[in-house]
């Protein structure tokens, strides 16, 4: 417990001019799933058809209660540098496809390589893409900004406060947490133990930052000054995603061991779901009261209804 002695050891001040606005004048979002008729008319898929899938290495998701849709981040092939083939799918709460490629239907005005963690705040979709934080308009999908974090190496998990402050994990080689303010100033929020290949990030009901590690089963809560105020344990290690619900309950997914742990406030962890291969950075669907869990190379989403 106590303050991290290494926090704020490095600051990368990014001027507003460095928080690059997206060149999105030609950008267009994709349409809901459908096809052209023989007469050349676009027809949306009829209500008696359900399609599942549309994923290509989905690492994270986030839920938009306004649309009642799940936004799934797809990293694409992940094998070539600068491939610029990342995209975002819109998925119904039952897992069926709304829009296969919403962001990414066209590459005009879009640069999105390997999006990993994602979050929504105040009408903006945030995602991390290698060493950048990228912002998109939640209504239209249009790119808004690309903020570089020059001294990061692999940004992974992300959470965003109501004022637009981003907290992002840097999984490897250095175990770090970065803070990026709404005006584009990046600073090293925490580094080293108890971080151990940090991954998922969430904001709790008190505005604290909750982080889980791939390297162990620690669930670490920082205050906004970077001090550790609480450390809990999930039932299994290899953690990837973390969700904190309004009552303070934490849910943690294990990408290595395929389980979901539930940690009630002041209580011990219990496994509530298991056998989920590569259970990655999950999100909470507050309208249907369910967890949605991307399964990375399995190109699928898992759904866990909560009691």
DSSP SS3 for 306? coil
Each residue's pLDDT tens digit, 111-130: 999 999 999 999 999 999 98
Q: DSSP states of 231-281 as a string?
A: EEE-SSS-EEEEEE-TTS-EEEEETTT--EEEE-TTS--EEEE---TT--B
Q: Which architecture, in CATH terms, is 2-28+52-305?
A: 6 Propeller (2.120)
Q: Which residues pair with 239 in a beta bridge?
A: 254
Q: For the whole model, what pTM was predicted?
A: 0.90
Average pLDDT for residues 142-167, to the nearest whole number? 96
The DSSP call for residue 17 is: G
**228 to 45, 132, 231: CA distances (angstroms):** 50, 26, 8
Each residue's pLDDT tens digit, 163-204: 999 999 999 999 999 999 999 999 999 999 999 999 999 999
Q: What are the structural domain ranges in the chain?
A: 2-28+52-305
């Amino acid at each position: 417990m106590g303050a991290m002695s290494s926090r704020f050891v490095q600051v990368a001040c990014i001027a507003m001019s460095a928080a690059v606005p997206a060149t999105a004048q030609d950008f267009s979002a994709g349409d809901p799933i459908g096809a052209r008729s023989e007469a050349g008319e676009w027809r949306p898929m009829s209500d008696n058809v359900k399609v599942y899938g549309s994923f290509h290495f989905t690492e994270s998701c986030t839920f938009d209660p306004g649309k009642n849709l799940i936004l799934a981040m797809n990293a694409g092939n992940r094998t070539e540098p600068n491939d610029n083939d990342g995209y975002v799918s819109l998925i119904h709460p039952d897992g069926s496809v709304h829009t296969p490629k919403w962001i990414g239907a066209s590459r005009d005005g879009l640069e999105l390589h390997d999006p990993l963690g994602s979050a929504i705040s105040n009408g903006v979709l945030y995602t991390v893409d290698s060493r950048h934080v990228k912002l998109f308009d939640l209504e239209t999908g249009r790119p808004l900004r690309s903020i570089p974090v020059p001294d990061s190496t692999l940004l992974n998990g992300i959470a965003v406060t109501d004022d637009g402050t981003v907290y992002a994990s840097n999984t490897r080689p250095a175990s770090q947490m970065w803070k990026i303010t709404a005006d584009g100033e990046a600073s090293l929020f925490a580094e080293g133990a108890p971080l151990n290949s940090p991954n998922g990030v969430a904001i709790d009901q008190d505005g604290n930052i909750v982080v889980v590690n791939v390297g162990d089963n620690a669930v670490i809560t920082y205050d906004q000054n970077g001090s550790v105020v609480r450390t809990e344990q999930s039932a299994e290690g290899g953690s990837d995603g973390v969700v904190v619900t309004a009552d303070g309950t934490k849910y943690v997914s294990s990408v290595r061991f395929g389980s979901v742990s539930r940690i009630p406030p002041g209580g011990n962890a219990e496994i509530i779901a298991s056998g989920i291969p590569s259970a990655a950075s999950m999100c909470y669907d507050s309208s249907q009261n369910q967890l949605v869990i991307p399964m990375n190379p399995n190109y699928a989403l898992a759904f866990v209804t909560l009691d």
